[in-house]
Amino acid sequence: MKATGLFASVALLAFTVPAHAQDEEARVARVLKATPIIDGHNDWPETLREREGEGRWTIDLRRGLDRKPQPYNTDIERLRKGMVGGQFWSVYVSANLPGPEQVKETLEQIDFVHQLAARYPETFALARTADDVRRIQRSGRIASMIGVEGGGQIDGSLSVLRTYHDLGAGYLTLTHSLTIDWADSATDDPKHDGLTAFGEEVVRELNRLGMLVDLSHVSEATMRDALRVSKAPVIYSHSGARALDDHPRNVSDDVLKLVAANGGVVMVNYAPSYVSDAYRRWSADRGAERTRLNAPPFGGLYIGQPDKAKSALAQWEKDHPAPRVTLAQVADHIEHIAKVAGPDHVGIGSDFDGTGNELPDGLGDVATYPQLMAELMRRGWSDANIAKLAGGNILRVMEAAEKVAAAPGSTRTRK
């Protein structure tokens, strides 16, 4: 009898734990079925262009891209597992290119997103509005939006901006990594103390068009200027909380309060340097060591000896292992933004396929969104707030921007 009783107790324990986990999984699935994930930033189109070249037009994107020599974070099979219902695809091009070349490559990237939807119409459909997104989600497909990731990509021309809009672009990131003629970047020397007069005109034109103003990558002065000028809610397509990681790409508490007053949303990035302050400092030290070892054209310990420099850097990394970055730390950023700005002002902007496969443990690809939602549920998040985070908040922002564009007086003489 004792053996039987013990067996029954063990069996009951074994049954109870999976049942609890199964219930949590069911809860996540229920919320995400009603409000699927809408991610503010994924670099899959640019990474396919970089790695596959012309082969990007024919490569099978349905499954198996995680098994490539350089694994991708994204393919259709894993998007489905991740319960993704909407995606802003970044059409990033290098900020170092001349302006006309940036325009050309941006048009090619936009065309690739269009072709992605054309090649897989059972999976993707292009979306411009919040209603488009909801309609496409009801059809069981993934709403595909376009984000232009850098103000340099308009080459100082509102006509180019309008052309991107006409081709389906949904947001413009005001800068990328470099300060441009009309806006300061977070990661370059400032020249304008924020936005110039033309930069403010760009924000007004985005409002008029119904495109979202994206403040990821810009300096804090640029953030403040844009928040002052914009009549529509802004977004941060892929940023974090500066209180947790003092990276200039992240958003300070003071600005988070301005975002809440504006009605905007900060979509949390997974890139380790923006998630973990320890990793950010380690990454800076690694960069300094790389420069010390091999820094053309100015010289370095192993200038002209790339194999020795690579070996020495590998030894440094072995002696100075990278700090661990985890799913829980991403959840910390989400919770901090929700605490300071409110749960109506936070979303997901993973930066998948844009981090060089450096990602937090537990968030290695687009199949993992449900695990992040489950972590927040374990922390006490309600289904309603999970739904806002997953997609509700960005849909609200899109609708608000559409209303601003449609308001009387929003149409003016184009320049």
Q: Is residue 125 part of a domain?
A: yes
Question: Final residue of a domain: which of 259, 290, 324?
Answer: 324
Work out the average pLDDT over 315-342.
97
Is residue 233 domain-shared with residue 308, that is, in the same domain?
A: no
pLDDT tens digits, one per residue of 185-238? 999 999 999 999 999 999 999 999 999 999 999 999 999 999 999 999 999 999
Burial 226-265 (b: 16+ CB within 10 A, else e): bbebbbbbbbbbbbbbbbbbebebbbbeebbebbbebbbb
Residue 267 has pLDDT above 60, yes or no: yes
pLDDT at position 64 over 70: yes
Structure tokens at 338: 């929700």
pLDDT at 21: 65
Q: Is the confidence at residue 17, as pLDDT, over 60?
A: no
| β strands within 229-364, DSSP E | 235-239, 265-268, 346-348
Residue 177 lies in a domain: yes
Residue 198 and residue 338 share a domain: yes
Of the pLDDT bands very low, low, confident and very high (cuts 50, 70, 90), residue 10 is very low
Q: Are residues 305 and 163 in the same domain?
A: no
**Separation CA 372–CA 378 (nearest Å):** 10
Q: What is the pLDDT of residue 411?
A: 56
Last residue of a domain, one of 324, 358, 385: 324
State the pLDDT at residue 11. 39
Asked if residue 307 belongs to a domain, the reply is yes
Say yes or no: 114 and 48 in one domain.
Answer: yes
Residue 371 counted as domain residue: yes
Q: CA–CA separation, 293 vs 287, rounded Å?
A: 10
Write the pLDDT tens digit of every residue in 257-266: 999 999 999 9
**89 shares its domain with 227:** yes
284/256 same-domain check: no
- For 38, counting Cβ atoms within 10 Å of its Cβ (0-12 exposed, 13-18 middle, 19+ buried), the class is buried
Ranges of H-type helices in 167-248: 197-209, 220-229
Contact predicate 229/198, CB 8 Å: no
- Contacts (Cβ under 8 Å, ≥6 apart) of 228: none
CA angle 249, 255, 260 (to 5 degrees): 120
| Residue in the structure block whose two tokens are 């900020």 | 95
Burial class (CB within 10 angstroms; exposed 0-12, middle 13-18, buried 19+) of 9: exposed
Per-residue model confidence (pLDDT) at position 299: 76
Q: What is the pLDDT of residue 303?
A: 83
Reported as a single tens digit per residue, the pLDDT across 145-158 is 999 999 999 999 99
Q: How confident is the model at residue 71 (pLDDT cuts 50, 70, 90)?
A: very high
**End position of a domain, from candidates 265, 300, 324:** 324
Placement of tokens 């640019």 in the chain: 46
Determine the average pLDDT of the residues in 52-62: 96
Are 252 and 263 contained in the same domain?
yes
**Same-domain check for residues 138 and 251:** yes
Domains identified in the chain, total number: 2
- Is 185 strand, coil or helix? strand
**377 has a pLDDT exceeding 80:** yes
Q: Please indicate, yes or no, whether residues 265 and 169 belong to a single structural domain of this protein.
A: yes
Predicted confidence (pLDDT) at residue 22 exceeds the cutoff of 70: no
- Cα–Cα distance measured from residue 127 to residue 146, given in angstroms and rounded to the nearest whole number: 9
The per-residue pLDDT for range 237-253, each reduced to its tens digit, is 999 999 999 999 999 99
CATH number at residue 254: 3.20.20.140
Whole-number average pLDDT of the chain: 93
pLDDT at residue 261, as a whole number = 98
Residue 207: predicted pLDDT = 98
Is 129 contained in some domain?
yes
**292, part of any domain:** yes
Residue 11 within any structural domain of the chain: no
Q: What percent of the chain shows pLDDT beyond 70?
A: 93
The answer on 218 and 183 residing in a single domain is: yes
Q: Assign 181 to helix, strand or coil.
A: coil
**Is the predicted pLDDT of residue 41 greater than 50, yes or no?**
yes
Whether residue 394 contacts residue 400, with contact meaning beta carbons closer than 8 Å, is answered with no
Q: What is the pLDDT of residue 101?
A: 98
**Could you tell me what percent of the chain has a pLDDT over 90?**
87
Q: Which range marks the domain in which residue 236 is found?
A: 34-276+325-406
Does residue 110 sit in the same domain as residue 216?
Answer: yes
Indicate if 58 and 198 belong to the same structural domain: yes
Q: Residue 16 — pLDDT band, cuts 50, 70, 90?
A: very low
Does the pLDDT value for residue 301 go beyond 50?
yes
Q: Quote the pLDDT of residue 304.
A: 83
Active site members: 41, 43, 149, 176, 217, 238, 351
Which are the contacts of 331, defined by CB distance < 8 A and separation ≥ 6? 372, 375, 376, 379
The answer as to whether 247 is a domain residue is yes
